């Protein structure tokens, strides 16, 4: 479990202001979804949180320690899976220990017994234990992304970041992956931040939401506060009709998807 603190974060690329004076605090164990149109700064924010991108000004800290480079306790899941197709799901998951052991040790399975057990546990968490020996390239996009989640979990992070992890998946697979992501974060007490394009999916799985528009934070609130007006503020001139379905009982802010929703997603 870890707390994230972002203070006056600004990132400029030449004349482009990708993030403009963004501040927020995320307490231990919260599952936060970042929303915004393409180019609003979602990836830049996640990359600053992971230490892959240096801020122009401002600070990002996890548990009070400023992030200046990638750290073992912060794992990142990317849209493109970054899975090695020739390797099995199990071997891919094991590469999550790469930051501790080095790439070649990970690749050639020189891990200790605990790490091997962690890889199997992580595959079980994402429902792929039976497919552990299957080559990743023979797996569906959704399964590959679940391997990506397993690999992130093997890293034993306290913070889990995911940059549009379901952007390339069909709606059913996207729900399934989000469900595993949310469950893995909850079971392991991880603080999570996930960027998504699909508002309905965000509402279903997110606990808290941060909306970016042109690099500025225009929304920060829980599910019951993410109204049509708030969505309009985030998405601006884009026609938001049909982007979100507000359910009658959709007023809780911390309970996540119901058991029924989780079963449907699976
Ligand atoms: N390495 C870079 N060099 C120059 N400009 C960049 C770079 N990375 C991002 N930008 C610019 O910063 C702005 C924010 O980009 P960013 O990728 O963070 O947005 P995003 O909301 O994640 O978009 P998308 O949903 O399309 O991934 C955009 O104008 C983008 O063109």
Q: What's the pLDDT score for residue 80?
A: 76
Q: Which domain holds residue 248?
A: 1-73+158-266
- Within 13 Å, how many C-alpha atoms sit on residue 164's CB side? 17
Residues 67 and 170 in one domain: yes
Contacts of residue 94, Cβ cutoff 8 Å, sequence gap at least 6: 106, 109, 111, 115, 116, 119, 151, 154
Residues 5 and 48 in one domain: yes
Q: How far is the CA of 44 from the centre of ligand 1 (A)?
A: 6
E-assigned strand segments in 50-101: 57-62, 65-66, 74-77
Which burial class, exposed, middle or buried, applies to 221 when counting CB atoms under 10 A from its CB (0-12, 13-18, 19+)?
middle
The radius of gyration of the chain from alpha carbons, rounded to an integer in Å, stands at 18
User: Would you state the structure tokens that stand for residue 94, as one six-digit string?
Assistant: 């094991």
CATH of the domain at 235: 3.40.50.300
Asked if the interface predicted TM-score (ipTM) of this complex is over 0.90, the answer is yes
Residues 183 and 233 in one domain: yes
Q: What's the pLDDT score for residue 253?
A: 40
Atom 24 of ligand 1, nearest CA residue: 38
Residues 119 and 15 in one domain: no
Residues 3 and 60 in one domain: yes
pLDDT tens digit string along 129-170? 999 999 999 999 999 999 999 999 999 999 999 999 999 899
Q: How far is the CA of 187 from the centre of ligand 1 (A)?
A: 32
Q: What's the pLDDT score for residue 168?
A: 86
Q: How far is the CA of 21 from the centre of ligand 1 (A)?
A: 16
Q: How many residues does the chain have?
A: 266
Q: How far is the CA of 43 from the centre of ligand 1 (A)?
A: 7
Helices 141-154 and 171-188: crossing angle in degrees, nearest 10, is 10
Q: Is 70 exceeded by the pLDDT of residue 46?
A: yes
Closest to 222 (Cα-Cα) out of 54, 13, 21, 32: 32
C-alpha to C-alpha distance for 93 and 244, rounded to whole angstroms: 35
Q: What's the pLDDT score for residue 248?
A: 45
SS3 263: helix
Q: How confident is the model at residue 216 (pLDDT cuts 50, 70, 90)?
A: very high
Segment 243-249 shows an average pLDDT of: 55
Atom 26 of ligand 1, nearest CA residue: 38
Residues 144 and 192 in one domain: no
Residues 187 and 235 in one domain: yes
- The domain total for the chain is 2
- Ligand 1 pocket, residues with Cβ under 6 angstroms: 13, 16, 18, 36, 38-44
Residues 190 and 225 in one domain: yes
C-alpha to C-alpha distance for 129 and 123, rounded to whole angstroms: 5
């Amino acid at each position: 479990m870890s707390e994230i603190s972002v203070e006056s974060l600004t990132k400029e690329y030449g004349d482009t202001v990708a993030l403009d004076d963004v501040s927020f605090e995320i307490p231990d164990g919260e599952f936060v979804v970042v929303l915004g149109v393409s180019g609003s700064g979602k990836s830049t924010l996640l990359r600053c949180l992971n230490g892959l991108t240096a801020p122009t000004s401002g600070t990002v800290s996890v548990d009070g320690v400023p992030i200046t480079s990638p750290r073992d306790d912060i794992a990142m899941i990317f849209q493109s899976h970054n899975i090695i197709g020739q390797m099995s799901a199990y071997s891919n998951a094991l590469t999550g220990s790469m930051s501790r052991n080095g790439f070649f040790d990970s690749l050639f399975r020189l891990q200790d017994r605990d790490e091997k057990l962690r890889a199997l546990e992580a595959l079980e968490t994402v429902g792929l234990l039976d497919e552990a020996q299957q080559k990743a390239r023979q797996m569906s996009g959704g399964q590959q992304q679940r391997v990506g989640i397993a690999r992130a979990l093997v890293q034993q992070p306290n913070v889990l970041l995911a940059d549009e992890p379901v952007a390339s998946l069909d709606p059913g697979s996207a729900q399934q992956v989000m469900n595993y992501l949310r469950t893995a974060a909850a079971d392991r007490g991880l603080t999570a931040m996930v960027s998504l394009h699909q508002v309905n999916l965000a509402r279903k799985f997110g606990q808290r939401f941060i909306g970016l528009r042109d690099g500025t934070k225009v929304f920060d609130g829980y599910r019951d506060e993410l109204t049509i007006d708030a969505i309009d503020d985030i998405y601006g001139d884009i026609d938001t009709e049909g982007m979100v379905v507000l359910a009658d009982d959709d007023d809780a802010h911390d309970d996540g998807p119901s058991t029924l929703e989780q079963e449907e997603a699976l």
